[in-house]
Structure 1
Amino acid sequence: MKYDGYIWEAKWWTKGTEPATGKDVWKRIGPVDDGNSGDDGNSDDPPAWDAEATYTGGDRVRHEGYIWEAKWWTRGDEPSADANMWKQIREVDDSDGDGLTANLGVNESVVAPGAEIEFDASGSDGDIETYEWSFGDGSDASGVTVTHTFDTAGEYTVELVVTDESGETSTDSATVTVADMPDKRVTGYYMQWSQWDREYYPGDIPLDQVTHVNYAFLTVNQNGAVDYIQQNAAMRVLEPESWHDHTGFDELVDDPTTKFLFSIGGWNDSKYFSNAAESQESRERFASTAIEIMRKHNFDGLDIDWEYPGGGGKSDNIVRDGDKERFSKLLREVRSQLDEAESEDGQEYLLTAALSADQKKNQGLNHDDNAELLDYLNVMTYDYHGAFDENTNHQSPLYGTDDDPSPRADDFYVDASMSYWTDTAFDSKQLSIGLPFYGRSFGNVASKDNNGLYQPFEGSPDGTWGQDNGIMEFWDIKNNLAPSDKYAESWDDTAKVPWIYSESEDILVSYDNARSVGLKTEYAIENDFGGMMFWTFSGDKNEVLLDAIHENL
């Protein structure tokens, strides 16, 4: 940036810090060029690309005879035709005087058929007489700003030609993707650690079946800064090297119909959320470091998964009085900095959160503020019951049952949780129902009565990957347990979920199958909820449950 007669470069994200030689965040590059520096090329050309400089969306540089424009935040990525963070604008103009340059702007590059798009040529330079547009579908228009509607799905190359009074022309173009947009969100979480034993990589994600992908997780450091969890492991899926021999997120993020978000926290990494929310300084640090990572990897937003504001998460989490109020302050700071990034980068950034299905955990949250600040909310409508209970039970019942012996039977099921949230300030379309693509198992079930359901038990068997909490992934249940000689499947027509029970093994497993997922999807449609969220992709690696969602959508 230019300030006080000099060019300054920010070493990292900063807000409100005045450029000065004594400020570590700023590096002074040199005096502002007055146009007489003798630099090669036209004086209107941007500066040469600098591998150490940070560029954001819209910044332009000179490199190897061309002008390049950054599409988003980038640093150290050399401009080239293969670099997806750079757009080649034109050749460097070596002539004297002002040049003629077409500049095509578009307000939406991915739309549904029938949506109106605005195209803007006001950023073009020169003594322009005419602005001519070709939309790639046989339609044309004239003018500085025009609108157009594409009726059929497909990719269209839109071309702008500007002409000056001498007849010289300049051309710019952009690609518009027109696709049938789903009416409901389908959000899936990708676990960073699924790359190991599960051998499930970003390239395995069925992008054609989801609208949003949440990367789980980033962590919160003790000082409130956001960071990677085991950075080498994170880079192995975010930006893998060629010898890793799998597709990373860096090859997926340009998908025009899918949004990618970094989820922060989760059950195991919410320890220091209270520190992050404690003061304005820590909230700014949390937001700026999270947004830096988001921009670096060209993601589309942030998902705040604090489990939980005010307590109720892991026993070693830091909890303070006032955390629920400060949760809203944290969201507000993140939203504020995302708004600034949107202005700088020329793209929309989402802010979402995952919160509990437990009404008691949510009491005291400022739903009015949170509904205003969040684009949508993922409600974790699962883990109602598990090995932490006294009796076997459904882990994610759609409805309650009269026979349920648990102390929270009257309000601890999906319908009750979603009814609670719809009675808050959140619009129903802001709410996504959570689906577990895994089951919870119960060991040493004391009685075969009711096929093992609602019976005392002790402990749990090993899960799919040896977990002592008995979590079994759906593909494992379907392929190896049900149906089988040992396990009989039952259906609760009140709760609308299945379970399997082995009398010989004294084991019960509660889970969702295609039938229950289909019914929950229908429930979301009937109640006008915004969509479905699930944990996680690798639990349904054969896409049986995903297919059930889409069959019912």
Structure 2
Amino acid sequence: MASNVVSRQAFITSSIEIARRFDFDGMDLDWEFPQNPEEMHNLGELFVEWRRAIDHEAKTTRRAPLLLTAAVYFSVDFFLDETYRKFPVWSINQNLDWINAMCYDYHGSWDTSRTGAHAALYDPNSNISTNYGLRSWIRAGLLKSKLVMGLPLYGKTWVLKDPNSHEIGSAAVAVGPGDNGVLSYAEIEEFNRKNGAKIEHDMDTVSTYSYAGSVWIGYDDVISTTLKIGFAQGLGIRGYFFWALGSDTSKAWVIED
């Protein structure tokens, strides 16, 4: 769709039409992910043309312009992949209202050999962390007012090799309960309660994990989430979002601003 001006225009026109038909506030693009520098360039061009069309539509209809946002990788560049590429920060600054950085899924079912904090704020052993990712966007020139931090309302599960070794990074042999080793926050609370799980807060990564028998779950709870929000406030970025609200418990969270 993004590879040429004709298909981009068809997509843009239909997206604006649908957003107005259903009285949406705007549109959020979730492209996971552009695979090479050419696709990153096409993404930048898409944003330019999309913003131009949004502004034109707002002017001709005398309505407030639709919002335009995008879900993006936790880091500005794909430093872990064989094909290096970087998001078009210049186009994002000029054309998007903000980006939603997906600061989660750092670890999961693709590596069953050890447990991991899948949304670690810090990682003492690598750059796979929210701290590194958000700061990489800022170093690349993204305006802080355009940057929003993602928070997960789900956890990743593993089966421990040795139930007596249950820290972050402990040896594992398989994914644990849930759909491909994923449990919603509500399901994690239920598991912890029914199994008398031990809950730990790891300050090195600013994350939470629980374990019962050989099952290990890495996630965020009210404590680690509150600390992450404080980090975002200190960094001076626009805000934070949760993925996804349907995974939350019915019990209300209270988070101090």
TM-score (ref. length: structure 2): 0.91
> 1:482 aligns to what SS in structure 2?
helix
Q: How does 1:280-429 map to 2 (within 5 A)?
A: 280-310=5-35, 322-345=38-61, 346-361=63-78, 363-389=85-111, 390-401=113-124, 409-429=125-145
In structure 1, runs of 5+ residues without a counterpart are 1-275, 312-320, 402-408
* Distance in 2 separating the partners of 1:385 and 1:330: 31
| Map of 1:456 onto structure 2 | 171
2:147 paired residue among 431, 454, 468? 431
Instruction: Using the TM superposition, give the Cα deviation of residue 288 of structure 1 relative to its aligned residue in structure 2, in angstroms.
Output: 0.6
> 1:347 aligns to what SS in structure 2?
coil
| Map of 1:514 onto structure 2 | 222
> 2:78 aligns to what SS in structure 1?
helix
> 1:541/1:482 Cα in 2 relative to 1: closer, same or farther (>3 Å)?
closer
Instruction: Using the TM superposition, give the Cα deviation of residue 493 of structure 1 relative to its aligned residue in structure 2, in angstroms.
Output: 1.6
Letter of the 1:365 partner, please give it: F
2:212 paired residue among 475, 498, 502? 502
* Distance in 2 separating the partners of 1:481 and 1:282: 47
* Distance in 1 separating the partners of 2:195 and 2:186: 18
Instruction: Using the TM superposition, give the Cα deviation of residue 451 of structure 1 relative to its aligned residue in structure 2, in angstroms.
Output: 2.0
* Distance in 2 separating the partners of 1:457 and 1:357: 25
| Map of 1:472 onto structure 2 | 183
Q: Bigger radius of gyration, 1 or 2? A: 1
Residue 3 of structure 2 contacts residue 42 of structure 2 at CA under 8 Å; is this kept in 1? Answer: yes
Alignment: residue pair count: 250
> 2:166 aligns to what SS in structure 1?
helix
Residue 452 of structure 1 contacts residue 501 of structure 1 at CA under 8 Å; is this kept in 2? Answer: no
> 1:286 aligns to what SS in structure 2?
helix
How far does the alpha carbon of each residue in 1:261-284 deviate from its partner, in whole angstroms, 9 at most, with x for none? Answer: xxxxxxxxxxxxxxx111110110
Higher helix share goes to which structure?
Answer: 2
| Map of 2:199 onto structure 1 | 489
* Distance in 2 separating the partners of 1:493 and 1:411: 17
Letter of the 1:493 partner, please give it: M
Identical residues among aligned pairs (%): 25
How far does the alpha carbon of each residue in 1:448-472 deviate from its partner, in whole angstroms, 9 at most, with x for none? Answer: 3542431232332341xxx2x1211
Instruction: Using the TM superposition, give the Cα deviation of residue 517 of structure 1 relative to its aligned residue in structure 2, in angstroms.
Output: 0.7
| 2:216 counterpart of 1:523 | no
Instruction: Using the TM superposition, give the Cα deviation of residue 425 of structure 1 relative to its aligned residue in structure 2, in angstroms.
Output: 2.1
Residue 483 of structure 1 contacts residue 489 of structure 1 at CA under 8 Å; is this kept in 2? Answer: no
* Distance in 1 separating the partners of 2:65 and 2:230: 30
> 1:361 aligns to what SS in structure 2?
coil
Instruction: Using the TM superposition, give the Cα deviation of residue 485 of structure 1 relative to its aligned residue in structure 2, in angstroms.
Output: 4.2
* Distance in 2 separating the partners of 1:482 and 1:361: 35
* Distance in 2 separating the partners of 1:394 and 1:379: 17
Residue 201 of structure 2 contacts residue 224 of structure 2 at CA under 8 Å; is this kept in 1? Answer: no
| Map of 1:23 onto structure 2 | none
> 1:333 aligns to what SS in structure 2?
helix
How far does the alpha carbon of each residue in 1:41-96 deviate from its partner, in whole angstroms, 9 at most, with x for none? Answer: xxxxxxxxxxxxxxxxxxxxxxxxxxxxxxxxxxxxxxxxxxxxxxxxxxxxxxxx
> 1:310 aligns to what SS in structure 2?
coil
Residue 119 of structure 2 contacts residue 129 of structure 2 at CA under 8 Å; is this kept in 1? Answer: yes
Instruction: Using the TM superposition, give the Cα deviation of residue 483 of structure 1 relative to its aligned residue in structure 2, in angstroms.
Output: 4.4
Letter of the 1:509 partner, please give it: I
Letter of the 1:306 partner, please give it: W
> 2:170 aligns to what SS in structure 1?
coil
Q: How does 1:92-131 map to 2 (within 5 A)?
A: none
> 1:307 aligns to what SS in structure 2?
coil
Residue 76 of structure 2 contacts residue 86 of structure 2 at CA under 8 Å; is this kept in 1? Answer: no
The structure whose RCO (Cα within 8 Å, separation 6+) is larger is 2
Residue 44 of structure 2 contacts residue 88 of structure 2 at CA under 8 Å; is this kept in 1? Answer: yes
Residue 107 of structure 2 contacts residue 118 of structure 2 at CA under 8 Å; is this kept in 1? Answer: yes
Q: How does 1:197-208 map to 2 (within 5 A)?
A: none
2:157 paired residue among 431, 441, 466? 441
| Map of 1:163 onto structure 2 | none
> 2:174 aligns to what SS in structure 1?
coil
| Map of 2:82 onto structure 1 | none
> 2:70 aligns to what SS in structure 1?
strand
- Computed over aligned residues only, the root mean square deviation of the Cα atoms, in angstroms, reads 1.8
How far does the alpha carbon of each residue in 1:393-422 deviate from its partner, in whole angstroms, 9 at most, with x for none? Answer: 111111123xxxxxxx32001111111011
How far does the alpha carbon of each residue in 1:191-229 deviate from its partner, in whole angstroms, 9 at most, with x for none? Answer: xxxxxxxxxxxxxxxxxxxxxxxxxxxxxxxxxxxxxxx
* Distance in 2 separating the partners of 1:496 and 1:283: 41
In structure 2, runs of 5+ residues without a counterpart are 80-84
Letter of the 2:236 partner, please give it: D
